[in-house]
Structure 1
Amino acid sequence: MDMQTMIQLVGNVGFPIALSLILLQTILVKFNKQMDGLEKRLLQLDKTMNMLVRTFHQNGLNSTIQVEKKEN
């Protein structure tokens, strides 16, 4: 917000309400940034978990094949 807008806001609605609106805007901007960071971390976690599941299944399949070969 520029200075002229803030002066008009204070003149129109009063200082406490104007200050509340400015603080609300600041909080919302920070919250959105945190949510974006959280979304990126969750996507990375999802990729990592998928990779671990694939690795687990491959190792489990290989172990099963090795056990079957030993039994024959």
Structure 2
Amino acid sequence: MDLQAVVQLIGNVGFPIALSLMLLQTILVKFNKQMDGLEKRLAQLDKTMNLILRTFHQNASKSAFRQDQKEED
């Protein structure tokens, strides 16, 4: 926000309301940045969990195959 826009905002709505609006804008910008960071972390967590599940299922199927072979012997 440039100085002329701030002065015009104060003239239109008054100083306390103008200050509140500027603080609200600042808070919303920071909140959106944090939400973007959380979305990226959640996406990475999802990929990691899928990888762990795939590995677990592969190991479980290999283990079951080995047990079947032992039982046949």
What interval of TM-score do these two structures reach, taking the shorter chain for normalisation? over 0.9
What is the one-letter code of the residue matched to 2:12? Answer: N
TM-score scaled to structure 1, two decimals? 0.99
Matched length: 72
Q: CA deviation at 1:7?
A: 0.4
Q: CA deviation at 1:54?
A: 0.1
1:20-42 CA distance string (max 9 Å, x none): 00000000000000000000000
TM-score scaled to structure 2, two decimals? 0.98
The residue correspondences of 1:1-72 to structure 2 (distance < 5 A) are 1-72=1-72
Task: List 4+ stretches of structure 1 deviating above 4 A.
Answer: none
Aligned residues with identical type, % of pairs: 72
Structure 2, gaps ≥5 residues long: none
Cα distance in 2 between the residues matched to 1:60 and 1:13: 67
Structure 1, gaps ≥5 residues long: none
